[in-house]
Amino acid sequence: MRTSESKSNQNAAAPSKSTTSSNIRQPRLRRAQNYLLLWVDTSIDQKNEDYENTLKQIRTITGDVSVYTQRDECIDFLTDAQEDVKSFLVVKDTMFQQIMPLINDIPQLDGIYILNDIETVQDERIKKCNKIRRIRTNINDICKGLQSDIKQHNQDSIAMSFITTNEMASTDNLNQLEPNFMYTQIFKEILLDMQHDEQAIKQFTAYCRHHDSGSAKNINEFEKDYQPESAIWWYTSPSFIYSMLNYALRSMEGDTIINMGFFIHDLHQQIQQLYQQQVNSYADEPFIVYRGQGLMTSDFEKLQKQKDGLISFNNFLSTSKDKEVSLNFALCALTNPDTVGILFVMSIDPCIKSTPFASIQEMSYFNEEDETLFSMHTVFRVGVMKQMDNENQLYQVELQLTSDDDQQLRILTDGIREEAGGGTGWQRLGDLLLKIGQFNKAEELYNALLEQTSGETEKAFYYCCLGYVKNE
What number is the average pLDDT over the span 380-395?
Answer: 92
**How would you list the strands of the sheet with 66-68, edge to edge?**
2-4, 66-68, 35-40, 86-92, 109-115, 132-136
pLDDT tier, 316 (very low <50, low <70, confident <90, very high otherwise): very high
* Tens of pLDDT, residues 437-463: 788 888 888 888 888 787 888 889 888
Q: Mean pLDDT, to the nearest integer, of 83-93?
A: 86
- Residue 29, pLDDT > 70, answer no
Report the distance separating Cα 393 and Cα 377, nearest Å. Answer: 27
Domains detected in the chain: 2-155 (3.40.50.2300), 157-417 (3.90.176.10), 439-472 (no CATH)
**pLDDT band at 126, cuts 50/70/90?**
low
Contact (CB, 8 A) for 106 and 78: yes
The end-to-end CA distance of the chain, in Å, is 43
pLDDT of residue 284: 85
pLDDT above 50: residue 426: yes
Counting beta carbons within 10 angstroms of the beta carbon of residue 242, is it exposed (0 to 12), middle (13 to 18) or buried (19 or more)? buried
**Residue 12: what pLDDT?**
31
Q: Where are the beta strands (DSSP E) in 127-263?
A: 132-136, 160-163
What is the SS3 assignment for 1?
A: coil
Distance CA 463, CA 269 (A): 33
Alpha helices in 48-177 (DSSP H): 49-59, 71-80, 93-103, 124-127, 139-156, 165-169
Task: State the Cα–Cα distance between residues 308 and 66, nearest whole angstrom.
Answer: 45
Give me the chain's average pLDDT, please. 83
Rounded Cα gap, residues 443 and 425, in angstroms: 16
Q: How far apart are CA 153 and CA 149, in angstroms?
A: 6
Phi, psi of 192, deg, nearest 5: -75, -20
Specify whether the CB–CB gap between 214 and 242 falls below 8 A: no
Strand order in the sheet with 287-296: 160-163, 310-313, 378-389, 394-401, 339-348, 287-296, 317-320, 371-374, 357-359
> 264 pLDDT exceeds 90?
yes
Q: Which of 142-156, 196-210, 240-254, 414-428 has the lowest mean pLDDT?
A: 414-428
What pLDDT was estimated at residue 412? 82
Residue 97 has pLDDT above 60, yes or no: yes
Residue-wise over 206-222: b if at least 16 C-beta within 10 A, else e?
ebbeebbbbbbebbebb
Query: Among the listed ranges 64-78, 88-102, 114-128, 330-344, which one has the minimum average pLDDT value?
Result: 114-128
Mean pLDDT for the stretch of residues 168-181: 69
Q: Is residue 27 pLDDT above 70, yes or no?
A: no
pTM exceeds 0.85, yes or no = no
Least confident of 56-70, 168-182, 302-316: 168-182
One-letter amino acid identity for 113?
A: Y
Burial class (CB in 10 A: 0-12, 13-18, 19+), 456: exposed
